[in-house]
């Protein structure tokens, strides 16, 4: 994805790269006690598929876990 691209790259290579990154992050989180969160996993799937950008993913997670 270039800085001017409004949507993430949806090529098989880009999808594989994002999947590898989320799998590695999940593994690190599991080592620290992570338990399955369906909302997080759904957002991960949308990010991997290129439906949302990394910034949109971050915004969704910040909103989800924001303390009131």
Number of Cβ atoms within 10 Å of the Cβ of 11: 10
Number of Cβ atoms within 10 Å of the Cβ of 42: 11
Q: What is the chain's mean pLDDT, rounded?
A: 90
According to the model, what pLDDT value does residue 12 have? 97
Number of Cβ atoms within 10 Å of the Cβ of 49: 13
Average pLDDT on 33-48 reads 94
How do residues 3-26 score in pLDDT, each as one tens digit?
555 789 999 999 999 999 999 999
Give 13-43 as a DSSP string. Answer: HHHHHHHHHHHHHHHHHHHTT----HHHHHH
Q: Is the pLDDT of residue 1 over 50?
A: no
- Sorted by where each begins, the domain ranges of the chain are 12-66
According to the model, what pLDDT value does residue 3 have? 55
């Amino acid at each position: 994805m270039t800085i001017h691209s409004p949507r993430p790259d949806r090529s098989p290579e880009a999808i594989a790269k994002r999947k590898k990154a989320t799998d590695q992050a999940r593994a690190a989180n599991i080592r620290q006690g992570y338990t399955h969160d369906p909302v997080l996993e759904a957002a991960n799937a949308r990010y991997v598929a290129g439906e949302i950008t990394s910034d949109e993913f971050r915004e969704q997670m910040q909103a989800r876990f924001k303390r009131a």
